[in-house]
Homo-oligomer: A and B are copies of this chain.
Amino acid sequence: MKDILVNLALEPRHREKLEAAAPGCRFTYAPGKELTPELVQSAQIIIGNPPPAWIAASERLELLQLFSAGADPYIKPGILAHSTALTNATGAYGKAVSEHALAMTLILMKKLHLYRDFQRQHAWRDAGMVTSLSDATVLVVGLGDIGLAYARQVKALGARVIGVKRRSGPCPEGVDELCLTAELDRVLPEADVIFSILPGTADTFHYYTAERFAAMKNSAIFINCGRGSAVSMEVLAQALREGQIAAAGIDVAETEPLPADSPLWELENLLITPHVAGNFHLADILEQVVNISCDNLRAHLSDQPLRNVVDFATGYKK
């Protein structure tokens, strides 16, 4: 009989599902701002993403099931006790984030962001030549759930896909050529589209350096739906201003919310969305988060292996 704290806005049918997965446990539902440090400290299992500082290495906490795929704030030293298991919601976001990234890719290829600007000026104005995914080489950096879903989508639309991952292995469906991270600089100059879906870890901090943007095609489109820390905002702005790449789309920023006085807002060839690609904006994300949580409640309560255990060294699913 554990104390389970749920920091998610749920419908009754979701609560029923969770409670059926942990019979006899005491559930406390504290969505959004209803959460308090006291509730966090008294919980044995938390489903949700509480402020990391409130956890304060609570020895009482056995399992933290995040609703996000990214786990970066929770893997830092001092946040979780050694005895706390950390699981993420990898798998819940593949559909939503990959389609958002595909929409960003196509809008930039077809210059629809410029046409939207022209529309605001009441201008029936031509923005010139466009490109096609069916002629494109697309580099997918990060081949987790989201990266693979995006790879399959662009390949189905005719693109040649190069996938980049940390560890060697068989080439997955939807990927034409598999590269290791160490080979990134060899394939960067080939890419018409670079889609980055890296987690926020020490290894991926400012991963896209000025040198890497300089190595990309001038016609390249760069999309980041991973973590904002992967690219310095100054480096990205410079690459766009100097025409080292043609355009970029970012759903994440180094500082979120992006400050109103950031020069990024005014870059015509940059498209910004406010970290909404996932974030429960597609109804079935919540369904899948609840399903993963149920699986892990059952597993934890019966001492079985958990799904989506986070590797503290990498921030990825193990």
Chain A residues at the B interface, C-beta cutoff of 8 Å? 95-96, 99-100, 102-104, 106-107, 109-110, 112-113, 115-120, 122-135, 153, 156-157, 256-258, 260-262, 265, 271-274, 276, 281-284
Task: Return chain B residues, CB-CB under 8 Å to A106.
Answer: 99, 102-103, 106-107
Which 5 pairs of residues, A with B, have the shortest CB-CB distance?
Answer: A124-B257, A156-B156, A103-B106, A124-B274, A103-B110
CB–CB B95/A134 < 8 A = yes
Task: Return chain B residues, CB-CB under 8 Å to A126.
Answer: 274, 276
Task: Return chain B residues, CB-CB under 8 Å to A256.
Answer: 124
Task: Return chain B residues, CB-CB under 8 Å to A258.
Answer: 124
Q: Which residue of B has the minimal Cβ distance to A251?
A: B115
CB–CB B274/A115 < 8 A = yes
Task: Return chain B residues, CB-CB under 8 Å to A273.
Answer: 112, 115
Q: Which residue of B has the minimal Cβ distance to A270?
A: B119
Task: Return chain B residues, CB-CB under 8 Å to A104.
Answer: 112
Having A119-B271, A122-B261, one finds 5 other A-B pairs with CB under 8 Å, namely: A103-B109, A107-B112, A115-B271, A116-B116, A130-B281
Task: Return chain B residues, CB-CB under 8 Å to A95.
Answer: 132, 134
CA distance A281 to B122 in the complex (A): 21
In the assembled complex, 26 residue pairs joining A and B whose CB atoms fall closer than 8 Å, in A order, are A96-B130, A99-B106, A99-B109, A99-B110, A99-B134, A100-B110, A103-B103, A103-B107, A103-B110, A106-B106, A112-B273, A113-B116, A115-B271, A115-B273, A116-B117, A120-B120, A120-B265, A122-B260, A122-B261, A122-B262, A124-B256, A124-B257, A126-B274, A130-B281, A131-B282, A132-B282
